[in-house]
Structure 1
Amino acid sequence: MRDHPELSVVVPMYDEEEVLPIFFERMHPLLDGLGITYELLVVDDGSRDKTAALLLAAAEDWPQLRVVRLLRNSGHQAAQSAGFRRARGQYVVTIDADLQDPPEVIAEFLQAVNEQDVDVVYGVRSDRSSDSWAKRTSARLYYRLMCRLVGKDIPFDAADFRLVTRRVVDAVNALPDDGRVFRLVIPWLGFPSAEVRYVRAERAAGTTKYNFSKMLRLAFDSVTAFSAAPLRLATWLGLLGGAMSGLFVVGALVIKLTGRSIPGWTSTVLAVSVIGAIQLLCLGLLGEYVARLFQSSQRRPQFLVGYDSLGDHGHQEPLHHNPQHQDPPQQNPQQHKAPSDR
């Protein structure tokens, strides 16, 4: 396992103890049957249940299973970043632990990357009928907005189930920005790509950890990280507010000069409400960008790795060293067991 494997499968996990037995039962024979060397790199994103203990126990009988534990819950995209920085394979696949994305498609990814000579293979959902109307509609709006802001190369219905080559991994790790959104960053890099379509299944066990607030946060991060369009929107809204104010002034003067003015509060309330709403929206948009600048100026790391079952041998520095992503000294895994096992 000290030699670099051909394939690294990166799996971010957070409180997935219920699905882990099914995950192991399905992934182990599948990866063994690929006929190539591999590592299953599971990034435990600060789980509070028995996920870490189950992973460490399984790793004793599965040499290819590698456990990386983050010191605190840092989020799905941060866990993927940790996996990208620690993965050693020539090919890196990212997949979630809930088995909604069928791991059997990994074999198709490998076939596509070799036959079509590409660096990225996206897993694209061919059917969203299992989703609710609200989720289908919000996903459609999200991808259309991203295509408008980022470019036409954003594949519709492609989330974080994909294969990339080492060239792509190194390019992503060299990017200086924090809080990256992988489903936008990787298409933006412009590497040759292909698509493999599949039908997404229901979650194998447990409940989703990606609630509405996290999806909304992802949408905000996607917009503010890749485009200044909201700032321009604030400018246009300000101009619109000014034009509307001018119309109110002209209307008030006309009414005053014709002698038809009467004491009232409707027009005042309407004017104040419209202009106030526009101002608050503009301030909110500006605040999103100021917050990103503030977080960047603090130089806080996006994640901290507390334990890697492979040890320091698994750590690879990015092409351009970024001190924000330094890992603390490796610690005894017994100090990082799940809270329930302490």
Structure 2
Amino acid sequence: MYHQKPILGIVVPCYNEEEVLSLTVEELDSVLDKMEKEGLVSSESFILFVNDGSRDQTWPLIEDLKGRYERVSGLNLAANVGHQNALLGGLMTAKQHADCLVSIDADLQDDVRVIRDMVLRYREGCDIVYGVRSSRKRDTWFKRTTAESFYKLMEGLGLRIVNNHADYRLMSRRALDELARFTEVNIFLRGMVPLLGFQTGVVYYERLERAAGESKYPLKKMINFALEGITSLSVKPIRMVTAAGFVVFAVSIVMAIYGITSNLMGKAVSGWSSLIVSMWFIGGVQLLSVGLIGEYIGKIYREVKRRPLYIVERELPPAVRRKAVDEAKSDHRKELDPVLSL
């Protein structure tokens, strides 16, 4: 059952975001204020900033913003654990206080105005609503090409993934409870959330320029992120290595037959070039295969150790939550007063 005025939580993972955070809270607080006045969300709705071990003044700024905005809350992680783990930590912490949660990055590149559309789709019965980019015209040719290639590769490997969707989405508490049952430590939420099923919706938006600060995802991190996603959710790459092994073996058999036949027929074959090429080719395939197998073994190693994905150092609840608790206690007292006076 979906509430007419759901408690909406907005989870914002932050890593060295002191330059943009003040703008972010203004935009998000304004969105919640408008939706509350429209009667779309509860007055208990809140914003949760998750500090992922920032090295700048992000956490002190979150503490300051909490004192100035009733809806702001904070979660300070004890160490930097990466975007996906920090986001998951925020979702798992906030889900107990909300009917639905929206996850969004702090840089304001995702259009906050479509949060309203997400809530409307939620009220229509969707447990998951994806924010999808309508175009990539603002991206450079290189970024656009690599991103499109990544999504095509993921689809080719048989993974359920939403094209041009990052981590801008709404999830109901029911969907979040099911996500909590996923116990792996190799986290790739873009691929995990579609595995949940449930009724889903999509809202489209135009991605904006970063409001302030610098991107926290340089090329090296993007490559690592893509590799993490592929190897965390699919075993097809390792099957492709097996297939490549059979192909190389078949080619070697053909070459062996060719060599024996040439010698029996008395043909002089130099063989130097083909030998060198074969050695380099087989050596490259072997190194690639060992590296890929090592990647999977490394993931098994992490899974077996079962280390926590994140450790919370401190949580700051929003003032609206405390106010709601105080009001509930006050209403309860009023109900008891006539009884106690008898």
Q: Please report the TM-score for the alignment, with normalisation by the length of structure 2.
A: 0.85
Identify the residue that residue 147 of structure 2 maps to in structure 1: 139
1:259/1:150 CA distance change after superposition, 3 Å? closer
Identify the residue that residue 339 of structure 1 maps to in structure 2: none
Give the SS at the match of 1:127: coil
Looking at secondary structure, tell me which structure has more helix per residue.
2
Match of 2:62 among 34, 39, 55: 55
5 Å-filtered alignment, 1:188-203, equals 188-203=195-210
Q: In 1, are the aligned partners of 2:109 and 2:208 still within 8 Å (CA)?
A: yes
Q: In 1, are the aligned partners of 2:186 and 2:299 still within 8 Å (CA)?
A: no
5 Å-filtered alignment, 1:116-155, equals 117-151=125-159, 154-155=161-162
Shift of 1:287: 1.0
1:82-137 residue CA offsets vs partner (Å, 9 max, x unmatched): 0111012101000000000011111111112113x111111111111001112111
Quick one: which amino acid aligns to residue 131 of structure 2?
Answer: G
Matched, 1:83 2:90: yes
Identify the residue that residue 319 of structure 1 maps to in structure 2: none
Identify the residue that residue 236 of structure 2 maps to in structure 1: 229
Q: CA RMSD in A?
A: 1.9
Match of 2:283 among 276, 298, 303: 276
Distance 1:278 1:267 in 2: 16
Shift of 1:263: 5.0
Q: Which has the higher mean CA deviation after the structures are superposed, 20-29 or 91-100? A: 20-29
Identify the residue that residue 338 of structure 1 maps to in structure 2: none
Identify the residue that residue 186 of structure 2 maps to in structure 1: 179
Identify the residue that residue 29 of structure 2 maps to in structure 1: 28
Distance 1:278 1:207 in 2: 38
Match of 1:40 among 26, 43, 47: 47
Q: Please report the TM-score for the alignment, with normalisation by the length of structure 1.
A: 0.85
Identify the residue that residue 94 of structure 1 maps to in structure 2: 103
Q: Which has the higher mean CA deviation after the structures are superposed, 261-270 or 240-249? A: 261-270
Matched, 1:112 2:113: no
Matched, 1:287 2:288: no
Match of 1:241 among 238, 244, 248: 248
Distance 1:283 1:136 in 2: 31
1:154/1:299 CA distance change after superposition, 3 Å? closer
Count residues with an aligned counterpart. 307
Q: What is the identity percentage for the equivalent residue pairs of Structure 1 and Structure 2? A: 37
Moved >4 Å (runs of 4+): none
Shift of 1:270: 1.1
Shift of 1:23: 1.3
Distance 1:263 1:221 in 2: 45
Matched, 1:17 2:18: yes
Shift of 1:235: 0.7
1:301/1:102 CA distance change after superposition, 3 Å? same
Identify the residue that residue 215 of structure 1 maps to in structure 2: 222
Quick one: which amino acid aligns to residue 93 of structure 1?
Answer: V
Point out where structure 1 has 5 or more consecutive residues left out of the alignment: 315-342
Give the SS at the match of 1:8: strand
Q: In 1, are the aligned partners of 2:29 and 2:71 still within 8 Å (CA)?
A: no
Distance 1:79 1:237 in 2: 38
Distance 2:103 2:267 in 1: 69
Distance 2:31 2:237 in 1: 45
Q: In 2, are the aligned partners of 1:10 and 1:94 still within 8 Å (CA)?
A: yes
1:280-299 residue CA offsets vs partner (Å, 9 max, x unmatched): 11112211111111111222
Shift of 1:239: 0.5
